[in-house]
Amino acid sequence: MTNKRCFLVTAYCDTPIKKKTLEDTLKNISRYNTDIILFSHYPIEKHIQELTDYSIYDYSNPILGPKDGRSMINWRRFRFPDVEGNAFKINTHAVDYGYAAAQQIKRGILFANEIGYDEVIILNYDLIVYDKMVDDFNEGLLTYDSIVPIYGGEKGLYMAWFALKIKPFLNNIKSITREDYSNTIDESIVEEYLYSKFTGNNSLLIPRLEWEGPNPLDGWIKTSVVMEGNILPKFQEKEFTWFIGHEILHIKDGIIGTDKKILLLWQIKKDLNIEVYLKNQIIHKSIVYKKYNYQLIYLPIEHLEFNSYLNTDELRVVINGWEIPKELLILNSISSIEIAYSYE
């Protein structure tokens, strides 16, 4: 150990681009003569391990979903060329990765504490690090217990880059549990949850404008990999795009949810044979011709009944011989399609 301060790099690098970015980041920060701990929820290749002082792979990666009372809403709205005035809006829920990230930071810091580090600088694997950032944190830790760039609202922490002395926050760190997260986060985001854990009377809070600058898309401190917020590619196949959701109708006085389950198809490039099976019996069969811009198919199964079969192999939706994967059907169980949605 060269000193009692270390970098803690958090990562989940499951693609070649992310792995290369992680490698570049580790090589970049190695010049600061500060030990490096890598904590990953994805297996770490040997040549990456060799760039660190300690590499930890934690397979748990506790992702929370609707059954845990946590999800993030993703939506997309669009209008087809032959539909006048109104549009469709598709909504679905993505799982909440917040606690997985919080647990990663917690376990990484506790490991650093156990092997004798007093201070830790936390960064995401794709943070673009330059000298002034490190110099400012090194100087700040001489005076403050934590250095927290503000993110989101007034009480959010920028998880990709912050620093702290471990001992003043040790009890707070240990208090980060799945139960605590679920009970306290409510409608907040993980950045706000961690802000409460890593700030105190002797914290340096850096306003967002000071570290990000006037342009959030090209901030002074930023990451290099764009977050994956658009889920639509999950439903795009080579010859069509599809989506299943329960029906929501927009009417003059508001909206009405129905019990109907809809299969929406668009970007159709060839004729499609649609088959829906329940308990190995075919309950729907139709052909969708490529000449149509889109097609709405009302499935002969109600929304709640559709969902009740998802934990079994009894419900199958097949398009041109391709069966929709179970994990996507499960995602569609909490999805909706808004019809006659207005852009106004």
Provide the CATH number for the domain around residue 208: 3.90.550.10
Of 2 and 313, the structure prediction assigns the larger pLDDT to 313
Higher pLDDT, 312 or 191: 191
Q: Is residue 265 part of a domain?
A: yes
Q: Are 335 and 242 in the same domain?
A: yes
Is there a single domain that holds both residue 22 and residue 118?
yes
DSSP state letters, 32-90: G--EEEEEESS---HHHHTTSSEEEE------B-GGGT--EEEEEEE--TT--S-EEEE
Q: Are residues 250 and 157 in the same domain?
A: no
Question: Per the domain annotation, does 116 fall within a domain?
Answer: yes
Q: Is residue 123 part of a domain?
A: yes
Average of per-residue pLDDT values in the chain: 87
Q: Evaluate whether 315 touches 74 at the Cβ level (below 8 Å).
A: no
Question: What is the rounded radius of gyration, in angstroms, for the C-alpha atoms of the chain?
Answer: 24
Q: Please report whether residue 71 resides in a domain.
A: no
pLDDT at 226 over 80: no
Query: Smallest Cα–Cα separation from 174: which of 121, 105, 119?
Result: 105
In a domain, 34, yes or no: yes
The parent domain of residue 173 ranges over: 5-63+96-218
Which domain-ending residue is among 218, 239, 255? Answer: 218
Q: Write down the pLDDT at residue 230.
A: 60
Same domain, 11 and 59: yes
**Torsion angle of the four alpha carbons 19, 52, 175, 178, in this order, in degrees rounded to the nearest 10:** 30
The answer on 209 and 241 residing in a single domain is no
Give per-residue pLDDT as tens, 21-70. 999 999 999 999 999 999 999 999 999 999 999 999 998 877 666 565 56
CB atoms within 10 A of CB 297: 18
Same domain as 37, residue 183:
yes
Tokens (6 digits) for 48: 């990456």
Residues 26 and 152 in one domain: yes
Residues β-bridged to residue 147:
163, 204
**pTM for the predicted model, two decimal places:** 0.66
Confidence grade of residue 98 (pLDDT, cut at 50, 70, 90): confident
Structure confidence at residue 229 (pLDDT): 52
Residue 168 lies in a domain: yes
